[in-house]
Amino acid sequence: MKRPGEDPDLEQVFSALRHDEQGAGPSFAALWAAAEAHRRARPQRPFRPLFLAVTAATASLLAVVLGLWQVPLPKPAPGAPAISQWRPATDFLLATPGRELLGETPRLGHGFDLATPQSTSSTDRPRRPS
Amino acid sequence: MSERSLEQRLEELHPAGFGWAVQCCGGDRQEAEDVLQTTYLKVLDGRARFDGRSSLKTWLFGVIRRTAAERRRAGWARNLLSLHVRNGHPNRAAAPTPEALSGEAETARALRLALAALPARQREVLHLVFYQDLTVEETAAVLAISLGSARTHYHRGKAALRERLQREGRP
Q: Is B93 on the interface with A (CB under 8 A)?
A: no
Q: Is A42 on the interface with B (CB under 8 A)?
A: yes
Least confident of B5-9, B87-91, B94-98, B122-126: B87-91
For residue A17, count CB atoms less than 10 angstroms from its CB and return exposed for 0-12, middle for 13-18, buried for 19 or more: buried
Q: What's the pLDDT band for B171 if we cut at 50, 70, 90?
A: low
Q: What's the pLDDT band for B84 if we cut at 50, 70, 90?
A: very low
| Interface probe with A: pick from B14, B43, B123, B167, most Cβ of A within 10 Å | B14
Q: Which of A13, A34, A38 sits opposite B107 (nearest CB)?
A: A13
**Helix, coil or strand: residue B35:** helix
* Beta carbons of B135 and A2 less than 8 Å apart: yes
ipTM score for this prediction: 0.70
What pLDDT is recorded for position A15? Answer: 87
Q: What's the pLDDT band for B98 if we cut at 50, 70, 90?
A: low
Which chain B residues are Cβ-neighbours of A13 within 8 angstroms?
A: 107-108, 110-111, 165, 170-171
* Beta carbons of A26 and B18 less than 8 Å apart: yes
For residue B113, count CB atoms less than 10 angstroms from its CB and return exposed for 0-12, middle for 13-18, buried for 19 or more: middle
What's the rounded mean pLDDT across residues B32-52?
A: 90
> Which chain A residue is nearest to residue B110, measuring alpha carbons?
A13
Residue B99 pLDDT > 80? no
Name the more confident of B52 and B1: B52
Low-confidence residues of chain A, pLDDT below 70? 1-5, 43-47, 70-72, 111-130
What pLDDT is recorded for position B106? Answer: 81
For residue B82, count CB atoms less than 10 angstroms from its CB and return exposed for 0-12, middle for 13-18, buried for 19 or more: exposed
Residue B102 pLDDT > 70? no
What's the rounded mean pLDDT across residues B68-76?
A: 86
For residue A69, count CB atoms less than 10 angstroms from its CB and return exposed for 0-12, middle for 13-18, buried for 19 or more: exposed
* Beta carbons of B151 and A42 less than 8 Å apart: no
CA atoms within a 13 Å half-sphere pointing along the CA-CB vector of A128: 2
Name the more confident of B36 and A108: B36
Q: What's the pLDDT band for B92 if we cut at 50, 70, 90?
A: very low
Residue B85 pLDDT > 50? no
* Beta carbons of B18 and A1 less than 8 Å apart: no
How far is Cα B21 from Cα A93, in angstroms, rounded to an integer? 81
Can you list the positions of beta strands (E) in chain A? none
For A36-53, b where at least 16 C-beta lie within 10 A, e where not — what string? Answer: eeebeeeeeeeeeeeeee
* Beta carbons of B36 and A31 less than 8 Å apart: yes
> Which chain A residue is nearest to residue B29, measuring alpha carbons?
A25
Which chain A residues are Cβ-neighbours of B105 within 8 angstroms?
A: 16, 20
- Report chain B's mean pLDDT, rounded to a whole number: 83
How far is Cα B154 from Cα B38, in angstroms, rounded to an integer? 29
What pLDDT is recorded for position B89? Answer: 43
pLDDT in tens, B118-170: 999 999 999 999 998 899 999 999 999 999 999 999 999 999 999 998 887 76
